[in-house]
Amino acid sequence: MGRIQRLRTLFYTKQLSMRDYYTALLARIQSAPGNAFISFFDDEVATAIDYLSQQDPNRFTGFGIPLGIKDNMCLANQPVTCASKLLAGYRSPYTATAVQYMIDQGFVPVGRLNMDEFAMGSANEYSVYGPVDNPWNPDAVSGGSSGGSAAAVAAGLVPAALGSDTGGSIRQPAAFCGVVGLKPTYGRVSRYGLVAFASSLDQIGPFAQYVDDVAIMLDTLCGFDPQDATSVKRPDECFSDGFEWASLHGIRVGVPNELMTSGQADVNAAIRRTLSQMESHGAIIDYVDFKYFDEALATYYIIAPAEASSNLSRFDGVRYGYRDTSATTLKDMMAATRSTGFGDEVKRRIILGTYVLSSGYYDAFYGKAQRVRGIVTKRYADLFKQYDIICSPTAPTTAFKKGEHTNDPLAMYLSDIATIPVNLAGLPAISLPCGRDSAGMPVGMQLVAPWFQEKLLLNTAYCVEQLVGFTPLVSDDVVLGQ
């Protein structure tokens, strides 16, 4: 039983006072090192506790469960800055659908979590609030862009957190911090109220320490939303039931050769050990050439910046957020605001995106990238005719040291080579810890399933989790206030 179920039971049976628990929890979060949290919702937490204490716990899936929210998701009357100077002082007038679904089921948002600026980064070093420490080693990065979400769960500050994933921004930090992170199928979870980076790639998803906790969160997050044009109508499903009958017997697993012949030796060794365990419990393991990882990486860094260039054009200092007041004309004010308000990585991607969309280059770059995206998607479709699950390392290495790739954007981009193709195809994927390297840092395994097959994905991940028996950094008793 995961942390969410256990904590809910303690509240439900009144073995643990919700008010006392939150008093201690907020004090611990606010004094914790690591820079995972940006701000706290003290008044909102007090209001939620008062409300839940008068309700029937059976009505709520997440009765009293603390929840951290990445700083690119809107919560009414609260700041949302995307870790950028450009949104300083802005407060959202509404709540993101995914966040509201969690609140409706009794989850209690406790604060905003640090991230790479506008979700652009793989280390959580591109933040106006400073970098996030990896709880396993404060000299290492937490991963990005949802580094604050992964670090907060790994450090035991919250049992549940929300992140967003455009090219690996849930799965890669989950791998670096030794927690479970799920990117649902594109369209499965509403994006309404998520500040857009690349609209055809972005997806909200959950972080937790255990697979069954992530499944409970997905139960709550899913649902058609007419406010999101990309939201897909699907029959209701329960992802958190049936784990006791989950089995690897007969599961066909394809392993891309390209991701097992490069990268860190410790990472590959941990993946191979886990694959051997899976095989001994009935899984059918087969190594296969994916063929298009390099092409997918190049394609992503055309499509994502192009969409970012369009989406971020709204941040101009005219309507909200930061404004550079040194200029004397409207045009100069917009240019100065964007120049001084955006960080270097965001400006790099806006410039690249504007270039590939410009007259004379659109077909050569953006148009061709979209055709390659179709080839990558078809390759997955073909593989899923043979395999139930595609398995690989989540990242080529474990968490690298802070500053190691800051001046080498290409090296930073390469850390997402295993995760990016999944976003291009819109597939569901999960990262879960499967061991540690020689320095004691967590290794993440990525499992990918066919479109809308989250149930299969979670059942397989649960079986792998039981085989590996990974020990969290912070014990359950600490998180549960015991």
Which residues are part of the catalytic machinery? 70, 145, 169
Burial class (CB in 10 A: 0-12, 13-18, 19+), 229: exposed
CB atoms within 10 A of CB 108: 25
Q: How far apart are CA 260 and CA 271, in angstroms?
A: 9
Greatest alpha-carbon pair distance for the chain in Å reads 71
CB atoms within 10 A of CB 421: 29
| Residue 124 backbone class (left: φ over 0; alpha: ψ -120 to 50; beta: rest) | left
Beta strands in 50-92 (DSSP E): 66-70
Q: Which residue has the tokens 């007041």?
A: 325
Q: How far apart are CA 180 and CA 221, in angstroms?
A: 16
Q: Give yes or no for a contact between 154 and 472, defined as CB atoms under 8 angstroms apart.
A: yes
Is the four-CA dihedral 62, 63, 66, 68 of positive or negative sign? positive
Secondary structure class of 73 (helix, strand, coil) = strand
Q: For 355, what's the count of Cα atoms within 13 Å in the CB-facing half-sphere?
A: 9
CA dihedral of 383, 385, 389, 392, whole degrees rounded to 10: -10
Secondary structure class of 357 (helix, strand, coil) = coil
Q: What is the DSSP string of 187-233?
A: TSB--TTBPPSSTTT-EEEEEESSHHHHHHHHHHHB---TTSTT---
Q: How far apart are CA 374 and CA 363, in angstroms?
A: 15
| Residue 481 backbone class (left: φ over 0; alpha: ψ -120 to 50; beta: rest) | left
Question: What tokens appear for 235 in the block?
Answer: 């029959």
Question: What tokens appear for 260 in the block?
Answer: 């097992």
What is the helix (H) or strand (E) element at residue 269, kind and residue range? helix 265-280
Q: How far apart are CA 113 and CA 40, in angstroms?
A: 9
Q: How far apart are CA 408 and CA 29, in angstroms?
A: 33
